[in-house]
Structure 1
């Protein structure tokens, strides 16, 4: 995959911490930042999927009888602490 250089401004403390972590993990600051960017994108994708699921349930709510049966089954099978 082709890579492009992107200018990012970071404060000294953040750069220092990234350098420490990169050294401890035997990787580069750039690799850490790529992982961080991927984590942000993955979190956004998961949030979008959650929002889509909520919207779907609002359009087509669960059958109350099904919810009641699932609740009863969960209560019957939950461990007694």
Structure 2
């Protein structure tokens, strides 16, 4: 039972934000992460995407598994 999500999915970033909101993050952590998801969305197709992607993954740290279903779609933005 796998989830196939594409970077081109209009709801990708909303789905990531919804998943993050379900987790037990501190207020300042969730605020930072949600802002970073917005930054990712705004930088899609631009050179800055890879920097913002790296920053987002680093901010997640040990919580990266929370967004693991979305990583293949996000990593599509690193190609090209």
Normalising to structure 2: TM-score of the pair?
A: 0.26
Normalising to structure 1: TM-score of the pair?
A: 0.26
| Larger Rg computed on CA atoms | 1
Q: Which has the higher contact order (CA 8 A, sep 6+)?
A: 2
